[in-house]
Structure 1
């Protein structure tokens, strides 16, 4: 149940928006081995500056219950940075990415809190398997 939230000061068109959302989802599926149905990606145009400059910049926040570890994070970072550079022209030097592991006891969905069922190898909320 990862979430990728991308904030950028770059105005984007509908085609760019669709490309970024789809490709960021693909990164989480392929690099972090997440179920596509569970990947949430948010893209927001924000007002912002970096180094007192309004040149293109991006802040990307990646949250997940599991899978937040050095090698995976490095691969995700490279892939998301590449997307932002290719699609919106954001320099890798002006792209910050944070990774946050959220304990399952602090991740709500489906009207409850997810728990890992080792026997079935599924995340479950209120006795219902998560997708």
Structure 2
């Protein structure tokens, strides 16, 4: 049920892509306290993006999860920004993270919903 979308203006090699997808799936599931078997991650590299008036390396992340508590967002932001900095070399001050919480009835899976 958690979905992490990572967009960056950087080109990402196939090897780096596989590693980032694997590590972000595991980390996000751990930070949320959810089984990784529900975790979905998308990576969109080479997206035309600018931030603060420059096209220097930048990333935008969106994390959607059922019942995401506001008191978890700081630790999630810290962990996800550190992951992107470690894996892609993008400094934290050039990363935005958007959090979105959904009710179970607003999230579908296997032809049904979680609510």
Bigger drift between 21-30 and 34-43 goes to 21-30
Structure 1 or 2: more helix by fraction:
2
8 Å CA contact retained: 1:27, 1:76: no
1:51 paired to 2:86 = no
Distance 1:20 1:66 in 2: 25
Post-superposition CA distance 1:73-128 (Å, at most 9, x none): 1111111111111111111001000110011111111112222xxxxxxxxxxxxx
Q: Rg: which structure is higher?
A: 1
- TM-score, normalised on structure 1? 0.82
- RMSD of the alignment, in Å? 1.1
2:65 maps to what in 1? Answer: 64
TM-score (norm 2): 0.93
**Unaligned 5+ runs, structure 1:** 116-131
Identify the residue that residue 29 of structure 1 maps to in structure 2. 29
Q: Mapping of 1:78-89 within 5 angstroms?
A: 78-89=78-89
Quick one: distance in 1 between partners of 2:103 and 2:110? 16
> Map of 1:1-131 to 2, 5 A cutoff?
1-45=1-45, 46-70=47-71, 72-115=72-115
5+ long unaligned stretches in structure 2: none
Q: Secondary structure at the match of 2:100?
A: strand
